[in-house]
Amino acid sequence: MQLPLTLFLVHLTCVHGWKTLRVPHAEGRDDTPTLTALLHNFTMDSTILFEEGHIYNIWTPLAFPSGLQNVEIRIEGNLTYPDDITTVQGIVGSSSFPGAWFSFNGGTNVTLRGSRKPNWGWVDGHGQAWWDVNEQTNRPHGWSFKKITNGVIRDMKIWKPVAWNFATSGSVNLHAFNNRISALSDTDVRPFRLSFSAGGTNMLFEDNFIQNGDDCLTIGSGAKNIHFRNSYCEGGHGLSIGSLGKGGSVADVQDVLIENVIMRSTLYGARFKSWTGGNGLARNITWRNIALEDIYITQNYWDQGVGPKTNSSSINNTRVQDFLFDGFFGTIRDIPYVEGSCVTDPCWYAVPGATGKEVAILDLYPDTASNVIAKDIFARTQTGSAVAVMCNSTTVTNDVGFKCWNGPFVRTSAGF
């Protein structure tokens, strides 16, 4: 039986006009409906507190009211998704699903804050069950932090998320720091989750610890002035721009700096991906001081689920301009291994002619790239074989920092 609303009034405190909602919890019941009914009273100058000592059942999506002003959401207790796959799929597949399990849609001065205590502040996605059966239909994306001005995401801890974690589309002036995403499998199956999807303006991501099975960072169209630094990424696909230009859309990404990142057991270190037939421009992108896997730029990105990779000489491709890869160091895994994200043969990341020893692959189209440079690249292979590159000198004509060919890595003047 649901408790009457009057019993929840003891959870409200007010100090100098600032209100605190201590989120009510009922054992064995979904906590979302009761909280949703109260939120409209806490859209300004408020703290919404998930209290330590409780495991809150967020068994249906939680949508915060639009237009929040001066609101802090503090997750000091633990939160849990439903642990039944079919139940979640039914919710995600419905027409009323808001696009993410936790969603924000507009606001100013909004903080999403976890706990620094090791056993509290976790959000449990129960992803292991999904990974074990390789289920990717109607997965629940995590947190949509959309259209927030002056936002903070800090100290959040995500445990085995099923799908994407944090998306920041349309937000301005965001600081995301000291967050932890733990999406490593207990078995041989591979998690397939994306951590941060940056889609706004003036954003700083720093001091984040990420273990996942997809992009550690992806920067989408419309993103400008993005800084990602001093972080750790393990088990994913790299620090990525895109994918851009799907279905011929016009992309616009500018002024991105990614620096001081440790990449461990990732498919790529730095990565740019755009779809054949796309339009627009990605400009002024720098990756600096990266403990690498590889560098990969492709304008021929594709979706395994829709058929074979497109081969095209179309002049319509997202342009790249002023790309700098500065200070990459580490070991290239040229011993064959199973990366785990393939659903077709050849795999989505297969490059014809690649040997697995490449430190850089520039898969570009003619007249689409200018001022692409890789400097201070120091790499070796696991086997001790010569490090290689793939590059077509007809597609990028400036000195890229190494001899532009399909062959051994030979540094040129721009590479020093």
The 10s digit of each residue's pLDDT in 127-180 is 999 999 989 899 999 999 999 999 999 999 999 999 999 999 999 999 999 999
Tell whether the model's pLDDT for residue 400 goes beyond 90: yes
Non-local (6+) Cβ contacts of 334 within 8 A are 355, 356, 357, 381, 382, 383, 385
Of 4 and 228, which is predicted with more confidence? 228
Q: How far is CA 377 from the centre of its chain?
A: 25
Query: 25 exposed, middle or buried (CB, 10 Å; 0-12, 13-18, 19+)?
Result: middle
pLDDT at residue 287, rounded to an integer:
97
Strand partners, 320: 282, 369
- The CATH number assigned to the domain with range 54-63+80-108+126-302+316-334+353-408 reads 2.160.20.10
Tell whether the model's pLDDT for residue 6 goes beyond 70: no
pLDDT at residue 223, rounded to an integer:
97
Q: Whole-angstrom Cα distance, residue 288 to residue 377? A: 10
User: What is the rounded average pLDDT of the residues 276-305?
Assistant: 86
pLDDT at residue 191, rounded to an integer:
78
User: What is the rounded average pLDDT of the residues 7-18?
Assistant: 54
How many residues appear in the chain?
416
Residue ranges of domains in the chain: 54-63+80-108+126-302+316-334+353-408
Tell whether the model's pLDDT for residue 19 goes beyond 90: yes
pLDDT at residue 399, rounded to an integer:
98
DSSP code for 103: E
CA distances 31 to 1, 54, 125, 332, Å, are 13, 11, 16, 47
Contact at 8 Å (CB) between 213 and 192?
yes
Q: How far is CA 273 from the centre of its chain?
A: 14
Contact at 8 Å (CB) between 229 and 261?
yes
Non-local (6+) Cβ contacts of 94 within 8 A are none
Contact at 8 Å (CB) between 277 and 249?
no
Q: Whole-angstrom Cα distance, residue 359 to residue 332? A: 7
Maximum Cα–Cα distance across the chain: 74
What's the mean pLDDT when you consider all of the chain?
91
The pTM of this model reads 0.93
- Considering the chain, what percentage of its residues have pLDDT values greater than 70? 93
Structure tokens at 51: 């209290």
What is the separation, in whole angstroms, between the first and last Cα of the chain? 70
**Picking from 119-128, 351-360, 375-384, which range would have the lowest pLDDT averaged per residue?**
351-360
User: What is the rounded average pLDDT of the residues 95-103?
Assistant: 97
pLDDT at residue 293, rounded to an integer:
72
User: What is the rounded average pLDDT of the residues 389-397?
Assistant: 94
User: What is the rounded average pLDDT of the residues 114-125?
Assistant: 98
User: What is the rounded average pLDDT of the residues 383-410?
Assistant: 96
Contact at 8 Å (CB) between 318 and 282?
yes
pLDDT at residue 335, rounded to an integer:
87
pLDDT confidence tier of residue 190, bands split at 50, 70 and 90:
confident
Among candidate residues 54, 126, 141, 237, the one labeled active-site is 237
Provide the CB-side half-sphere exposure for 272 (13 A, CA).
33
Q: Is 237 a catalytic residue?
A: yes
pLDDT confidence tier of residue 286, bands split at 50, 70 and 90:
very high
CB environment 196-212: b (16+ within 10 A), e (fewer) = bbbbbbbbebbebbbbb
The 10s digit of each residue's pLDDT in 229-271 is 999 999 889 999 999 998 889 999 999 999 999 999 888 999 9
In the numeric block, the tokens 């003619």 are attached to 366
pLDDT at residue 1, rounded to an integer:
34
Q: Whole-angstrom Cα distance, residue 270 to residue 116? A: 30
